[in-house]
Amino acid sequence: MNTENTVRPRTDDDLTACAEALAEVHRHDGYPVNWPENPGDWLTRAAGLGAWVAVLDGRIAGHVALDRGDEDDLAPGLWGDTAATAVVSRLFVAPEARGHGVGVRLMERAVAEARRRDLHPVLDVVASDSGAVALYERLGWRLLATVEQRWSPEQTVTVRCYAAPAAV
Ligand SMILES: CC(C)(COP(=O)(O)OP(=O)(O)OC[C@H]1O[C@@H](n2cnc3c(N)ncnc32)[C@H](O)[C@@H]1OP(=O)(O)O)[C@@H](O)C(=O)NCCC(=O)NCCS
């Protein structure tokens, strides 16, 4: 595989291809845990500060979003100053594109945008998303807490909350 790739801002025209890649990730890894009714809307509503795609061999190979977060996000409150944080989410890389640093490059892009805005990057990740947990820890992100979060009366999920390392 040609591992040359580009990370660029997502456009509305990318949403269908992003949703298709996300569906593949959901089948492969169970991310997201609950398949959204409208994947395009799910990707868009977490992207108030930006969203980026990785393009590999002309195809959408990955995605990440950045947002101010909402009441469902735990990490901003744990960081101590919700107004000073930006939430990284909706990170995924298509299974066939993994292991070539695409995830790292997407994270770098989202983190750079948060820092450009003088916001500290934080995130919540479902504990069973072990590849993502390994990626964040490899990038030096600090575990703030592990929380049992009730998503519905029938569903409680273990969530790990992280903050990016200080900028150097
Ligand atoms: C997590 C994910 C984005 C990683 O994508 P990727 O492009 O393969 O990641 P990278 O190649 O940039 O990995 C960089 C490093 O992260 C770590 N890492 C990534 N995936 C890993 C895995 N499955 N197991 C262990 N370590 C892993 C490794 O240290 C790796 O470095 P190495 O290849 O030198 O060992 C991808 O596995 C994925 O889409 N997972 C499902 C979606 C998900 O759970 N999202 C969580 C959103 S909160």
The pLDDT value given to residue 4: 59
% the chain with pLDDT above 70:
97
Rounded Cα distance between 127 and 10, Å, is 27
Q: Is the CB of 61 under 6 A from ligand 1?
A: no
Structural domains in the chain, sorted by start: 5-163 (3.40.630.30)
Q: Whose CA is nearest to atom 16 of ligand 1?
A: 135
Render pLDDT for 82-133 as a digit per residue (tens, 0 to 9).
899 999 999 999 999 999 999 999 999 999 999 999 999 999 999 999 999 9
Q: Is the CB of 134 under 6 A from ligand 1?
A: yes
Question: Distance from the CA of 92 to the center of ligand 1, in angstroms?
Answer: 9
Rounded Cα distance between 43 and 89, Å, is 9
